[in-house]
Structure 1
Amino acid sequence: MIAARPPEDDRSAALRGGGKPFGLARWSRASLRRTLVLALLGGMLVASGAALWSAWRTATRAADAAYDRSLAGAIKAIDANITTAGGGLGVELPYPMLEFFQLTSGGAVYFRVATEDGLVEIGNTDLPPPGPDLPNGRPRFRNASYYGEPIRLGSYARELKPPLAGHEGRPRVVVQVAESMRPRHEFRRVLLLEAGARNAALVALALLLMALGIGWALRPLARLSAEVQQREPNDLTPIDETSLPREVRPLVEATNHHMRRHQQASEERRRFVDDASHQLRTPLTTLATQVAFALREAPPGPTHDALTAIREQLDAATRQVNQMLALARADSMELRPEPVDLVALARDLTRQWWPRAREARIDLGFDTSEPTLTMAAQPGLLREALSNLLHNALRYTPAGGHVTVRVAAEAGEARLSVEDDGPGLPPEELARAGERFFRGSGAQAGGSGLGLAIARAVAERHDGHLRVHAGPRGHGFVACLVLPLPPATT
Structure 2
Amino acid sequence: MLAALHRLSLRRTLLLVLLPGMLLVMGLEIVVSWRTALGAANAAYDRSLLGAIKSLDANISTASGGLSVELPYRLLEFFELTANGRVFYRVASGDGLVEIGNADLPAPPRPLVNGQPQFSDALYYGEPIRLGSYARTLDQPLSGGSNSSQVVIQIGETLESRQDFTRRLVMETLARDVLLLLAGVALLVAAVNWSLRPLQRLRQDVLQRDPQDLTPLASHNIADDVQPLVEAINHHVMRYRDAMEARRMFMDDASHQLRTPLTTLATQVGFALREPDPALMKQALLAIKLQVEETVRQTNQMLSLARADTTEWHMAPCDLVALAQEVTRAAWPQARQKQIDLGFEPLNEAHAEVNAHAGLLKEALVNVLHNALHHTPVGAKVTVQAGIEPVNSATGGARQAVLRVIDNGPGMSPEELAHAGERFYRGSSQVNGSGLGLAIAKAIAQRHGGALNLHATSADPTRPGLTVTLRWPAIFQVASEDPAAHAPL
TM-score normalised by L of structure 1: 0.50
Q: Secondary structure at the match of 1:144?
A: strand
Taking the TM superposition and a 5 Å limit, the aligned residue runs for 1:228-267 are 228-267=206-245
CA contact (8 A) 1:75 1:175 kept: yes
- Please name the residue that 1:189 is paired with: 167
Measure the CA separation in 1 of the matches of 2:276 and 2:33: 111
Following TM superposition, by how much is the alpha carbon of 1:136 offset from its aligned partner in structure 2, in angstroms?
1.6
Following TM superposition, by how much is the alpha carbon of 1:256 offset from its aligned partner in structure 2, in angstroms?
0.7
CA contact (8 A) 1:159 1:170 kept: no
- Please name the residue that 1:66 is paired with: 44
- Please name the residue that 1:164 is paired with: 142
- Please name the residue that 1:269 is paired with: 247
Following TM superposition, by how much is the alpha carbon of 1:73 offset from its aligned partner in structure 2, in angstroms?
1.8
2:122 equivalent to 1:122: no
How many residues end up aligned between the 2 structures? 288
Q: 1:200 aligns with which of 166, 178, 188?
A: 178
Q: Secondary structure at the match of 1:266?
A: helix
Q: Secondary structure at the match of 1:207?
A: helix
Q: Deviations over 1:367-388 (max 9, x none)?
A: xxxxxxxxxxxxxxxxxxxxxx
Which amino acid in the other structure matches residue 85 of structure 2? G
Q: Secondary structure at the match of 2:169?
A: helix
Q: 1:57 aligns with which of 31, 35, 39?
A: 35
Q: Deviations over 1:304-356 (max 9, x none)?
A: xxx9xxxxxx9xxxxxx9xxx9xxxxxxxxxxxxxxxxxxxxxxxxxxxxxxx
Taking the TM superposition and a 5 Å limit, the aligned residue runs for 1:212-361 are 212-275=190-253
Following TM superposition, by how much is the alpha carbon of 1:96 offset from its aligned partner in structure 2, in angstroms?
2.8
CA contact (8 A) 2:141 2:148 kept: yes
CA contact (8 A) 2:66 2:144 kept: no
Q: Secondary structure at the match of 1:110?
A: strand
- Please name the residue that 1:97 is paired with: 75
- Please name the residue that 1:304 is paired with: none
Which amino acid in the other structure matches residue 162 of structure 1? Q
Measure the CA separation in 1 of the matches of 2:177 and 2:146: 62
**Relative to structure 1, is the Cα distance of residues 38 and 188 closer, same or farther in structure 2, using a 3 angstrom cutoff?**
farther
Q: Secondary structure at the match of 1:152?
A: strand
**Relative to structure 1, is the Cα distance of residues 92 and 280 closer, same or farther in structure 2, using a 3 angstrom cutoff?**
same
Measure the CA separation in 2 of the matches of 1:127 and 1:168: 20
- Please name the residue that 1:28 is paired with: 6
- Please name the residue that 2:61 is paired with: 83
**Relative to structure 1, is the Cα distance of residues 30 and 169 closer, same or farther in structure 2, using a 3 angstrom cutoff?**
same
- Please name the residue that 1:302 is paired with: none
Which amino acid in the other structure matches residue 110 of structure 1? F
CA contact (8 A) 1:52 1:192 kept: no
TM-score normalised by L of structure 2: 0.50
Taking the TM superposition and a 5 Å limit, the aligned residue runs for 1:101-116 are 101-116=79-94
CA contact (8 A) 1:84 1:164 kept: yes
Measure the CA separation in 1 of the matches of 2:216 and 2:139: 99
Q: Secondary structure at the match of 2:115?
A: coil
Q: Deviations over 1:10-38 (max 9, x none)?
A: xxxxxxxxxxxxx4333333333333444
Measure the CA separation in 1 of the matches of 2:264 and 2:138: 137
Following TM superposition, by how much is the alpha carbon of 1:130 offset from its aligned partner in structure 2, in angstroms?
2.1
- Please name the residue that 1:20 is paired with: none
Following TM superposition, by how much is the alpha carbon of 1:103 offset from its aligned partner in structure 2, in angstroms?
2.7
Measure the CA separation in 1 of the matches of 2:110 and 2:167: 33
Measure the CA separation in 2 of the matches of 1:243 and 1:49: 37
Which amino acid in the other structure matches residue 178 of structure 1? G
**Relative to structure 1, is the Cα distance of residues 89 and 241 closer, same or farther in structure 2, using a 3 angstrom cutoff?**
same
Following TM superposition, by how much is the alpha carbon of 1:278 offset from its aligned partner in structure 2, in angstroms?
6.4
Measure the CA separation in 2 of the matches of 1:288 and 1:97: 131
Which amino acid in the other structure matches residue 270 of structure 1? R
CA contact (8 A) 1:56 1:188 kept: no
- Please name the residue that 1:136 is paired with: 114
Following TM superposition, by how much is the alpha carbon of 1:286 offset from its aligned partner in structure 2, in angstroms?
6.7
Measure the CA separation in 1 of the matches of 2:142 and 2:221: 94
Q: Which of the two has higher C-alpha Rg?
A: 2
Q: Deviations over 1:139-172 (max 9, x none)?
A: 2112222233332211111233432224675432
Following TM superposition, by how much is the alpha carbon of 1:129 offset from its aligned partner in structure 2, in angstroms?
0.9
CA contact (8 A) 1:37 1:207 kept: no
Following TM superposition, by how much is the alpha carbon of 1:258 offset from its aligned partner in structure 2, in angstroms?
0.4
CA contact (8 A) 2:95 2:146 kept: no
CA contact (8 A) 2:41 2:162 kept: yes
Measure the CA separation in 2 of the matches of 1:34 and 1:233: 30
Shifted more, 258-267 versus 85-94: the winner is 85-94
Shifted more, 147-156 versus 226-235: the winner is 147-156
Which amino acid in the other structure matches residue 220 of structure 1? P
Q: Secondary structure at the match of 1:142?
A: strand
For the aligned residue pairs, the C-alpha RMSD in angstroms reads 3.8
Following TM superposition, by how much is the alpha carbon of 1:233 offset from its aligned partner in structure 2, in angstroms?
0.8
Q: Deviations over 1:164-190 (max 9, x none)?
A: 224675432211111223433332222
Structure 2 gap ranges (5+): 278-284, 286-291, 293-298, 304-489
**Relative to structure 1, is the Cα distance of residues 39 and 196 closer, same or farther in structure 2, using a 3 angstrom cutoff?**
farther
Structure 1 gap ranges (5+): 1-22, 300-306, 308-313, 315-320, 326-490
Which amino acid in the other structure matches residue 137 of structure 1? G
Following TM superposition, by how much is the alpha carbon of 1:257 offset from its aligned partner in structure 2, in angstroms?
0.6
Measure the CA separation in 2 of the matches of 1:246 and 1:218: 12
**Relative to structure 1, is the Cα distance of residues 104 and 84 closer, same or farther in structure 2, using a 3 angstrom cutoff?**
same
Q: Deviations over 1:442-467 (max 9, x none)?
A: xxxxxxxxxxxxxxxxxxxxxxxxxx
Measure the CA separation in 1 of the matches of 2:276 and 2:71: 148
Percent of aligned positions that are identical: 57
